[in-house]
Amino acid sequence: QVQLVESGGGLVQAGGSLRLSCAASGRTFSNYGMGWFRQAPGKEREFVAAIRWSASSTYYADSVKGRFTISRDNAKNMVYLQMNSLKPEDTAVYYCAAKEGYIVTMQPTRYTYWGQGTQVTVSS
> What average pLDDT does this structure show over 6-34?
93
Round the average pLDDT of the chain to a whole number and report it.
Answer: 94
Rounded-to-integer distance, Cα 95 and Cα 48, Å: 9
Strand-pairing partners, residue 25, are 3
Rounded-to-integer distance, Cα 80 and Cα 90, Å: 16
Give the per-residue pLDDT at 95: 98
- Report yes or no: 123 and 21 within 8 Å, Cβ to Cβ: no
Measured in degrees and rounded to the nearest 5, phi and psi for residue 104 equal -115, 160
Residue 29 reports pLDDT greater than 90: no
Beta strands in 8-77 (DSSP E): 10-13, 18-26, 32-39, 46-51, 58-60, 68-73
Could you tell me the end-to-end alpha-carbon distance of the chain, in angstroms, rounded to an integer? Answer: 40
- Report yes or no: 96 and 34 within 8 Å, Cβ to Cβ: yes
Residue 49 reports pLDDT greater than 90: yes
Give the per-residue pLDDT at 17: 98
User: How remote is the C-alpha of 28 from its chain's centroid?
Assistant: 19
Burial of 105 per CB tally in 10 Å (0-12, 13-18, 19+) = middle
Q: What is the pLDDT of residues 100-119, one digit of tens each?
A: 988 889 999 999 999 999 99
Give the per-residue pLDDT at 27: 73
Give the per-residue pLDDT at 7: 97
> What average pLDDT does this structure show over 13-37?
92
Q: What is the pLDDT of residues 62-96, one digit of tens each?
A: 999 999 999 999 999 999 999 999 999 999 999 99
